Amino acid sequence: ITAVDLMNATFDRIEATEDKVGAFITVSKEEALALAKKLDEKGIDESNVLAAMPIGIKDNIVTKDIKTTAASKMLEDFIPIYDATVMNKVYESDMIPVGKLNMDEFAMGGSTETSYFKQTKNPWDLTKVPGGSSGGSAAAVAAGQVPISLGSDTGGSIRQPAAFTGIVGMKPTYGRISRFGLIAFASSLDQIGPFTRTVKDNAYVLNGISGYDANDSMSAKTEVPDFTAKLNQDIKGMKIGVPKEYLQEGVAEDVKNAVLEAIETYKKLGATVEEVSLPHSKYGIAVYYIIASSEASSNLQRFDGIRYGYRSPEAKSLDDLYVMSRSEGFGMEVKRRIMLGTFSLSSGYYDAYFKKAGQVRTLIKQDFEKVFNDYDLILGPTTPTTAFNLDENMDDPLTMYMNDILTVPVNLAGVPAISIPCGFSNGLPIGLQLIGKHFDEATIYQAAYAFE
Ligand code: GLN
């Protein structure tokens, strides 16, 4: 099989399923076929497991000459003039991008329903959401359109859709993967990561896209290990902590039971599993929504109708141009975040909200550090429930936000975490979350692989 054959098969599959799933905003068939042809001519390097692999890209990762919208009207016609660093890594490892995937607008949401363009459906049940914000990335892999996709995770946007669609999604350590060319949502939390169907594939992709980049000021100079190195080591003696807060109120019975079963499996595999506590995780949602919205309100100032993006055709003055372009270009959820963020940063409220949130963030981080003094990994559910109905939570932002309760502490602490499938309830997948120490993705993969 040639790379061109593989691409043709991929696009056949996308065409056959896309009407139902709606994962893509842009399919870049011509570009993919041209790359595949080049690869065939050059000869595929058999030692490179990623060579010729089709990959889907979340539409907030900028791609040179390929439309990048962040699922916003604001960037409906935006064609970047450069590639994100992660795209350079994708090309260097000979993977072939096949298109740009749907998401919540500017990655704000948990269901992919805030996209300006379309709804994406959960391939397991087309009446359910695929999760979000990287819902297109998750659905495309779950529906077998692509074996690999990239997403971004600011407060759960890789892990939650992975859980809802029964696949593997990794949010690496903050700093592990360059954010250069990722359209910024909340800069102190944003991290790119891979979706795959298996743990091993996931580790291979992380090998390909990690590493220091001078273009991201928060990029870590830490060495990148081979993330597959520990996959075949058994986990006897591994110490796993289960935070009692992660199995409490709000977590549905079916999810809880699947996680309790997973704990039994880990014990059988020889791990020690014990209850631990992350006492400040109850403040996670409040802290996250203050910090993420504050950073977003600042990051989104660049969309002013002048430099690039949507410009209102009706404006008669400069002030009008700003106000009208932003009023017409941004959707409801994005405006809500900008208002929340501007409020918590404004004088008179800064100390009570933004500053306080930063202080509590430190406490949340310390909770993790304390547990990791004695444990190798933390285990819990990824989400409180399985995938919910399309439209169910759209007019109830607080309920939507509460869904992130088990994922946001990880971003606030900057640690890595994966979601892997651990069962089904009423035909819908359940996700198991494994959280690791800073830069210790290898141990997460080891434990995830042992479970799989
Ligand atoms: N659901 C969360 C939010 O709406 C997380 C989003 C994300 O990780 N990008 O902010």
Alpha-carbon span 415 to 405, nearest angstrom: 16
pLDDT band at 37 (very low <50, low <70, confident <90, very high): very high
Residue 104: pLDDT band (50, 70, 90) is very high
Is 429 a pocket residue for ligand 1 (Cβ < 6 Å)? no
Active site (catalytic) residues = 58, 133, 157
| pLDDT tens digits, one per residue of 281-293 | 999 999 999 999 9
pLDDT, one tens digit per residue, over 190-240 is: 999 999 999 999 999 999 999 999 999 999 999 999 999 999 999 999 999
Distance (Å) of CA 157 to CA 232, 233, 394: 29, 30, 17
pLDDT-based confidence at 117, cuts 50/70/90?
A: very high
pTM: 0.98
- Integer Rg of the chain from CA: 21
Strands (E), 77-146: 96-101
pLDDT score of 336: 98
Residue 407 Cα to ligand 1 midpoint, Å, equals 9
Q: Exposure of 398 by Cβ count < 10 A (0-12 exposed, 13-18 middle, 19+ buried)?
A: exposed
**Dihedral sign, CA of 132, 133, 136, 141?**
negative
Q: What is the mean pLDDT of residues 43-59?
A: 97
pLDDT value for 151: 98
Residue 308 pLDDT greater than 90, yes or no:
no
> 249 pLDDT exceeds 90?
no
Closest Cα to atom 4, ligand 1: which residue? 109
Phi-psi region of 174 (alpha: psi -120 to 50; beta: other; left: phi over 0): beta
Q: Is the pLDDT of residue 26 over 80?
A: yes
In short, whether 155's Cβ falls inside 6 Å of ligand 1 is: yes
Distance from Cα 225 to the centre of ligand 1, integer Å: 28
Q: Ligand 1 atom closest to Cα of 403?
A: 1
Q: Which atom of ligand 1 lies closest to the CA of 109? A: 4
Give the position of tokens 């600011």. Answer: 154
- How many angstroms from the chain centroid is the CA of residue 392? 22
116 is written with which tokens? Answer: 């300006």
Q: CB of 293 closer than 6 A to ligand 1? A: no
pLDDT at 238: 98
Cα of 211 to ligand 1 centre, how many Å? 24
Is 76's pLDDT higher than 80?
yes
Pocket-testing residue among 58, 61, 133, 383, ligand 1, by greatest number of atoms within 8 A of Cβ: 133
By DSSP bridging, strand 54-58 and strand 96-101 are parallel
pLDDT tens-digit readout, 337-359: 999 999 999 999 999 999 999 99
Confirm if 227 and 440 have CB atoms less than 8 A apart: no
Percent of the chain residues topping a pLDDT of 90: 99
Is the distance from the beta carbon of residue 153 to the nearest atom of ligand 1 less than 6 Å? yes
Confidence of residue 322 (pLDDT cuts 50, 70, 90): very high
Q: Is the CB of 242 under 6 A from ligand 1?
A: no
402 SS3 class? helix
| 332 CA distance to ligand 1 middle (Å) | 15
* Phi, then psi, of 318 in degrees rounded to 5: -65, -45
Contacts of 424 (CB under 8 A, 6+ apart): 166, 430
Question: Taking all residues of the chain, what is their mean pLDDT, rounded to a whole number?
Answer: 97
Is the CB–ligand 1 distance for residue 292 below 6 Å?
A: yes
Chain segment 121-138, per-residue pLDDT in tens: 999 999 999 999 999 999
Amino acid residing at 212: Y
Residue 249: Cβ within 10 Å count? 8
For residue 364, what pLDDT is reported?
A: 98
